[in-house]
Amino acid sequence: MADKNQIQRRLKELRSKLSQKGLDGALIAKRENYIYMSNFTGTFANLLITHDKAILVTDFRYVEQAKEEAQLFDVIQYQGSLTVTLNDLVSSNNIKNLGFEEDYLTYKNYDDLLKKLSISKLLPLGRAIEFLRLIKDSEEIQVIREAVRIADEAFSHVLKYIKPGVSETEVAAELEYYIKVQGARGPSFDTIVASGLRSSLPHGVASHKIIEIGDAVTLDFGAIYKDYCSDMTRTVFVGQPKEELKQIYEIVLKAQKAGVEGAVKNLTGSEIDSIARNIISDAGYGEHFGHSLGHGVGLEIHEDPRLSQLGSLKMNNGMVVTVEPGIYVSGLGGIRIEDMIVINEDKPMVLTASTKEMIIL
């Protein structure tokens, strides 16, 4: 949880963006954004942030929690209609040009606000808060580091559990149970356990398939700790794999290590993506690597910046990203290896500690 100084800094930075955009205030309803701006972690709130006011509107369920967590905000409980309460606040604070989260608000909500609020214009914020969230401060990185540690511990634990006769869903359940025992709120996304021929499915969420001798088993999972996510992937073998899969593993490992080392400040996401992609292409497997190299991780499991062929954003210190190349061959299987790193000048800080060398169980 951010301290008061961090929240004050975030409010100051958002207010600066409001001035630049000619906005009198911002309406924030996306959970990850209101957590970042206020510290409130409940599942429902609307923040109304002006140049001199910070107001949190919620319902009866969360008033006490909001007052405890969002100490720099005036907490208001609405009864009946949320839009009536918001309109009272808009009017009393003389808000005419109001910013909204264009990537989050539905058209119906947008239409309701436009009709029911006494404002002149409802204008997009231009992902202003997401832009602030790009750079993680030292406290955020410490929380993320703990989420990564929990995932690393879960991987070490589950290696003792994976064996012929166990199903993918049983492996996923063991992973998710263990990360909760270690202090996580839960998994940061649907756990992927894909074995044998199913390992060629990049997002092969755990099925009832039974793990067999010779299978590659791809494990892609993460933990949520204090609302921040982690994300890691390892591929292990149960018994001796086919020779081509071994060769593919070494290609992916080489590409992954190069991608990590190449993820430095001032390079764009596409430039970093190409470092790993070129290695895979040169090895003859370019058509079998169809997803991006990586993505940002924080309060959301997938957020900016993107390490992809279209990633135009330049890396900056404090950005937290994944590096996860893969090769997927239908009828054979697939390999993916993923670490989380922090951009740190020309030497990325690698958060994921689990070995990347080939594991044959």
**pLDDT tens, residue by residue, 119-143:** 999 999 999 999 999 999 999 999 9
How sure is the predictor about 323, in pLDDT bands with cuts at 50, 70 and 90? very high
Flag whether pLDDT at 303 surpasses 90.
Answer: yes
Q: Are residues 67 and 17 in the same domain?
A: yes
> What is the total count of domains within the chain?
2
List pLDDT tens digits, range 273-290. Answer: 999 999 999 999 999 999
The reply to whether 355 falls in a domain is: no
Mean pLDDT of 67-88: 95
Domain check: are 248 and 319 in the same one?
Answer: yes
pLDDT at residue 1 tops 90: no
Distance of alpha carbon 56 from its chain centroid, rounded? 25
Burial (CB < 10 A; 0-12, 13-18, 19+), residue 94, is: exposed
Residue 231, both tokens: 């994300």
Tell me the pLDDT band of 94, cut-offs 50, 70 and 90: very high
Domain boundary among 133, 157, 191: 133
Q: State the CATH number of the domain containing residue 166.
A: 3.90.230.10
- Read off the pLDDT of each residue in 165-190 and give the average, rounded to a whole number: 98
Instruction: Give residue 194's identity as a one-letter amino acid code.
Output: A
Residue ending a domain, choose from 133, 159, 185: 133
* 250 and 181 both lie in a single domain: yes
* 246-260 per-position pLDDT tens digit: 999 999 999 999 999
**pTM for this predicted structure:** 0.96
**Model pLDDT, residue 319:** 98
Q: Do 248 and 156 reside in the same domain of the chain?
A: yes
Rounded Cα distance between 25 and 96, Å, is 8
Q: Is residue 360 part of a domain?
A: no
Query: How high is the mean pLDDT of the chain?
Result: 97
Ramachandran sector of residue 183 (left: φ over 0; alpha: ψ -120 to 50; beta: rest): left
The verdict on 183 and 310 lying in the same domain is: yes
Let me know if residue 116 belongs to a domain. yes
CATH value at residue 9: 3.40.350.10
Whether residue 162 sits in one domain with residue 20 = no
Residue 321 in contact with residue 309, Cβ under 8 Å? no
In this structure, the answer to whether residues 164 and 313 fall within a common structural domain is yes
Residue 361 lies in a domain: no
Domain end among 133, 155, 180: 133
Which residues, listed in sequence order, are joined to residue 76 by a DSSP beta bridge?
A: 57
Q: Tokens standing for 209?
A: 């398939």
Question: What phi and psi values does residue 262 have, to the nearest 5 degrees?
Answer: -85, -5
- Cα–Cα distance, 93 to 54 (Å, whole number): 11
**Which residue range is the domain that position 30 belongs to?**
4-133
Instruction: Looking at the structure, tell me whether residues 72 and 102 fall in a common domain.
Output: yes
**Alpha helix locations (H) across the chain?**
4-21, 31-38, 63-69, 82-92, 107-116, 128-133, 138-159, 168-181, 243-262, 269-282
**Segment 191-238, tens digit of pLDDT:** 999 999 999 999 999 999 999 999 999 999 999 999 999 999 999 999
Instruction: Tell me if 191 sits within 8 A of 177, measured CB to CB.
Output: no
Query: How long a stretch of residues is the chain?
Result: 361
- pLDDT for 208 equals 97
Q: Tell me how crowded residue 81 is: count the other CB atoms within 10 A of its CB.
A: 10
- What are residue 327's DSSP bridge partners? 335
Same domain, 123 and 97: yes
**359 in a domain, yes or no?**
no
Amino acid identity for residue 45 in this structure: A
